Amino acid sequence: MLDNQGRLGLREAKKREVRRTIVTAALALFEERGFEGTTMEEIAAAANVSRPTVFNYFSQKEAILPIAWNQLALDQLGTQLEAGVPGDADRPLELLRRFLVGLGDAFAGHPETARAFFVHHVQAGSLRRRAHGLRGRDREQAAESSDAPESPAPPEATGEGQELKARIDHHLMTLLARAQHLGQVRSDYDPAELLGLLIPGLWASTIGPWLWGRRGDQPLAVVIARHLDFFLHGLCGEAPGAATEGLSGLA
C-alpha cells in the first residue's frame, strides 16, 4: 500500500494491514459471487476477522469499493508512481498513455468489482450531484423517483484513499505539464483543468461501455488507448498511430 512503515506508527501500520486484508478478501468474493451476492459476514469470514471489525473499517459494503479500486490501482501502478516523472522525459504523452492503460487493466482484471464501483460510485455520484442542485419539493420528488439510488450514495474515499488519488492526480498532472513544456499539449489550460476534462470523459466513453459489453470483444486496453488518442488529437488532429502501438498483441 501507500504506507512507508518507517514513518507510520505501529498502530496505523496495523490498521492498514487489516484494511488491506479485508479488501483483498472482498475483492476475491466479489469476483467469485458478484458484489450483490456477497455479504459483510462472508467478507469477515474470508478475512479471518470478526464482523464488528469489518464494520469498524467500512460502514457498509459499498464503502469497500473505492478502497478496493485504490488497492487495485496501486498494485498495478505502484512502480510507476514510485518512479515519478523524469525531468528530461521527452515522450510524456506515451507515459500518460501507458499509465491510463494500466489503470484500465486494473479494472479489466476484476470486472465484477469494476462494475459495482461504476454503479455505486460513478453513476450514484452523478445522481447525487444532480439531486443536490434541486430545491424543495423537486428534491423530495427526485429522492423518491425510480432512477434515484435505493440507498444513499456511499461516502468518498477518505484518508488513505484520498492520499492515493492525490498521488495519481499529481503524477498525471506532472506528465501533462511536461508535455506542455515540450509544446506537445496546448498551454492555455492549467494541467489540473486538463486532467479534469480528460479523465471523466475518457472513463465514461471506455470503462462503462466495456463493462456492459458495448465495445464488442476488444480488450479494454485497446479501447482506452484508441479513445485516449482521440482525446489528445481531436476531430481534426492527425492520428499518430501511437494509440495502438505495442498493443496489437492484445487484440
Q: Evaluate whether 26 touches 43 at the Cβ level (below 8 Å).
A: yes
Give the type of residue at 234: G
> Is the pLDDT reported for residue 55 higher than 60?
yes
**pLDDT greater at residue 202 or residue 149:** 202
| Residue 65 and residue 38 in one domain | no
> Is the pLDDT reported for residue 31 higher than 80?
yes
Lowest mean pLDDT among 39-43, 117-121, 167-171, 238-242: 238-242
Instruction: Calculate what percentage of the chain has a pLDDT beyond 70.
Output: 75
pLDDT score at 123: 59
CA distances from 89 to 36, 180, 189 (A): 44, 12, 21
Residues 6+ apart with CB under 8 A from 223: 104, 206, 209, 210, 215
> Is the pLDDT reported for residue 28 higher than 50?
yes
CATH number for position 42: 1.10.10.60
| Residue 82 and residue 193 in one domain | yes
pLDDT score at 22: 96
pLDDT score at 46: 97
| Residue 182 and residue 236 in one domain | yes
| Residue 238 and residue 122 in one domain | yes
pLDDT score at 216: 79
pLDDT score at 203: 83
Residues 6+ apart with CB under 8 A from 212: 115
- Count of domains for the chain: 2
Taking Cα atoms as reference points, which of 143, 122, 109 lies closest to residue 65? 122
C-alpha span between 244 and 143 (Å, rounded)? 44
pLDDT in tens, 197-243: 888 888 888 888 888 888 878 888 889 988 988 888 877 655 555 44
The neighbour count for residue 53, using CB atoms within 10 Å, is 15
| Residue 206 and residue 231 in one domain | yes
C-alpha span between 4 and 213 (Å, rounded)? 40
| Residue 170 and residue 147 in one domain | yes
| Residue 52 and residue 137 in one domain | no
Instruction: Calculate what percentage of the chain has a pLDDT beyond 90.
Output: 32
> Is the pLDDT reported for residue 147 higher than 80?
no
pLDDT in tens, 13-22: 888 899 999 9
Q: Evaluate whether 176 touches 195 at the Cβ level (below 8 Å).
A: yes
C-alpha span between 123 and 62 (Å, rounded)? 13
Cell of 200: 471523466
C-alpha span between 65 and 85 (Å, rounded)? 28
| Residue 169 and residue 244 in one domain | yes
Parent domain of 78: 61-250
Residues 6+ apart with CB under 8 A from 95: 85, 89, 175
DSSP string, 190-226: -HHHHHHHHHHHHHHHHHHHHHTTTTTT--HHHHHHH
Average of per-residue pLDDT across 127-152: 47
Is this prediction's pTM over 0.85? no
| Residue 67 and residue 190 in one domain | yes
> Is the pLDDT reported for residue 61 higher than 80?
yes
pLDDT score at 122: 64
| Residue 52 and residue 73 in one domain | no
> Is the pLDDT reported for residue 95 higher than 60?
yes
| Residue 77 and residue 189 in one domain | yes
| Residue 16 and residue 99 in one domain | no
